[in-house]
Structures are given as structure tokens and as C-alpha cells.
Amino acid sequence: MNMNTSARARTAPTRPNLTAYAFLAPVAILVVLFFIIPALLVIYISMTDLATANFTSDVGQMTFIGLKNYETLFSDPYARKIFFNTVFYVLVTLSLFNVGGALVVALLTAHINRRAGFFFRALWLLPRLMTSTVYILMWERMVADPPYGILNQLFGVAGYGTVAFNTNHIWTFVILVNGIIGISFGMIIFTSAIESISKDIMNASLVDGSTAMQRIRYVILPLMRWPLLFVLSYQTLSLLTSYEEILLFTNGGPGVYQTEVWALTAFHRALSNYFGNAQWGYGSAFAVVLVIVGIVLAILYLRIFRFRELVSEPKIENL
């Protein structure tokens, strides 16, 4: 009897593991095929001088140049500016919109009439539902130079002079364009997290006489650490690697790399050059730096939010 029990104890853990691996396998294969292998290829290409003038898709024919592209990148007179553009863009968009704005919208719409809350959340989803090109065209018309810009026409009617929104206030609009799309993701996650907080806890706080602000500060926010970690890390990485709207809206201009972000530089260098001869190898070096920064930030977030504690079994299970 004892022997049987001990034999079962030895073999039991492997079975669920195998089952778990079997379930994980399809996703793991996809990750290896469409992330790990491409990432390794990009890392290799970043150590070659691949450009239009010697373009080949045969990895064996590419000329290996070691870390030369990274040397060029780190001594590029504009790399520093592009890096700080990216930091500024990510921090401001994240704090005002993708996390901060999303949290405010979720909290506000959760504290008003349910139907009204649903209506306002649906409104915030509209920009996300629109295709990027149409969305950007609308913004372009909005801030266009006189006589075309809607804002400038309104300014004209109101008796103000014209404003060069496109050139003098471009960062404001780049952040607005990206932020207004970015709110919806966090808003949905935060709203569902708020809605799923046990009514008992909320009622208990009401019985204790808490104000709305106290409930948010001492009840809701502490219970939202997990969704906050998820939205913050996901949106940071998403903003770091996103350039689609900036490409369509300003293409990094109008001044010297004025709104150029790191991911857009990687695209410009590797895939899109006005005068031809795209630098695939050099562009890949920019992309690799972005991957490294993303991994470092992800690890930092997991540590700051104590990820292990968040995914550990509830203490009540250990009693």
C-alpha cells in the first residue's frame, strides 16, 4: 500500500506536465517560427552590410561585418535625439492616455449610470475601429495649413490668426493622434477589472463611510495591480515598437528628425528610403536595440509589480 502510494507520488507530477506541454506546443511552435527564428535572423542581418546594392535573401551570401552597424549607430549624431524623442513619446502618451487616460475613463464610466457608461466607452472605441489611413487623413485635414485646415478655418471664423499646427505644435498632435487610439485598450481591461471587484468589498467600504475617492484609492486601485501591470507593460512595448500613425502623419518630420522615433528609424533605414538603396543591415541594428530595450523594460515591470506574488497561489490555499 505504501509502496503503491510512493510510486504514484513519484510519477504523478510528470503526467500533468506532459499534458501541459502538449497544450503549449502549438503556441510554442508558432512563437519559435514567427518570433524566435525571425528575431535571430534580424540579429544576424544587423551584423551584415546588407543593402539594396548587395541585396540577397540568401543568408549565406550576406557579408558579415560584426558590430560595425552598432558602432555606426552609437556614433550617429541624431541617434541620441531619436532615442529621447522615443522616451518622450512613450512616457507622455502612456501617462496621459494609454494608462492614465484609460484609468480615468474606466473609473468615471464605472461610477455613472450603466447605460451612459457603456455609451461613453463605445465612443472611445471608435478611433480604434477606424483604419489608420482614414484616421490620419482626418487629423491631417484637421491641422492642415491654411486655407485647408479645419482648425485654422475655425480660428479664422473666430477672428484669430492662423496657426502653423503642422510645424510649431506637431508633438502635441502626434501624442493626441496616438493617445486617442491608445485609450481604448486599457479602458476595456480596467473597466472589466473594476466590474469584477466583489460587491461585498465595495459594500463594506460604503458601510464604513468611504468617499468615492477613498474607494478608488484604498479599494479599487490596490485590487487592480495585475491589470495595471499588464496594461502598463503591454502598452509600453506597443508604443516603443509602433510607428504606423507617426509614419502616416508626419513621417518623422517636419524638422530635423523632429518626430522621428526609434522604430520609425528602423523602418526608414531598412525598408523605405526616398532615394533608394535601403540599408537593411543598419536598419536591423536599430530594430535589435529596440528588442533589447523592450526585454529590459518587461523584466523591470515584472520586478516592480512583484510578478511572482501576483501569480502565486492565494495564501488561503496554503492554510
Partner 1 sequence: MVKVFRLLLVVGLMLSGIATAAQEEVTITARCQANIAGGEGWRCDNFAAVEEQVEQELGINLTLNIIQDSKGWADYKTEFVLAAEAGEAPDIILSGHEDIGAWAAAGLIIPLDDLIAQHEEFADVVPNLWVSQTYDGKIWGIPQDAEARPIFYSKLLLSDLGWSDEEIASLPERVRTGEFTFEDMLATAEQAVAEGVVEPGKGYYHRWGNGFDWLPYYLGNGGEIMTEDGQLVFDRDAALAAYELIGSFVKRGVTPETMIGTESSAIYAEFAPAENVLFYQGGTWQWADWARNYVADLGGNDFLLENVGLMLFPAMNDGVPLSLTHPLSYMISSGSEHPDVAMALLAAVTTPEANNRHAIDSFHLGILTTQVESEAYAANPVLSGAHYMLDYTRFAPNTPFYSAWSNAYWAGIQAAHTGTPAEEAVELAVTQLQNELGDQIVIR
Residue with Cβ nearer partner 1 (77 or 222): 77
Residue with Cβ nearer partner 1 (72 or 210): 72
Residue with Cβ nearer partner 1 (186 or 281): 281
Q: Are 235 and 182 in contact (CB under 8 A)?
A: yes
Could you tell me which of 187, 177, 313, 180 has the C-alpha nearest to residue 246? 177
Question: What is the DSSP secondary structure assignment for residue 169, as one 8-state letter?
Answer: S
Residue with Cβ nearer partner 1 (19 or 277): 277
Residue with Cβ nearer partner 1 (16 or 276): 276
**DSSP labels for 70-135?**
HHHHHT-TTHHHHHHHHHHHHHHHIIIIITHHHHHHHHHHHSS-HHHHHHHHHHHHHHHHS-HHHH
Taking the complex as a whole, how short is the minimal distance between the CB of residue 268 and partner 1, in angstroms?
Answer: 8
Taking the complex as a whole, how short is the minimal distance between the CB of residue 258 and partner 1, in angstroms?
Answer: 8
Taking the complex as a whole, how short is the minimal distance between the CB of residue 252 and partner 1, in angstroms?
Answer: 10
Taking the complex as a whole, how short is the minimal distance between the CB of residue 174 and partner 1, in angstroms?
Answer: 13
Question: What is the DSSP secondary structure assignment for residue 143, as one 8-state letter?
Answer: H
Taking the complex as a whole, how short is the minimal distance between the CB of residue 128 and partner 1, in angstroms?
Answer: 25
- Is-cis flag, bond preceding 147, omega within 30? yes
Cα 229 from Cα 50, distance rounded (Å): 39
* Residues contributing to the site for partner 1 (CB under 8 A): 51-57, 72, 75-78, 144-148, 164, 166-168, 170, 253-257, 271-279, 282
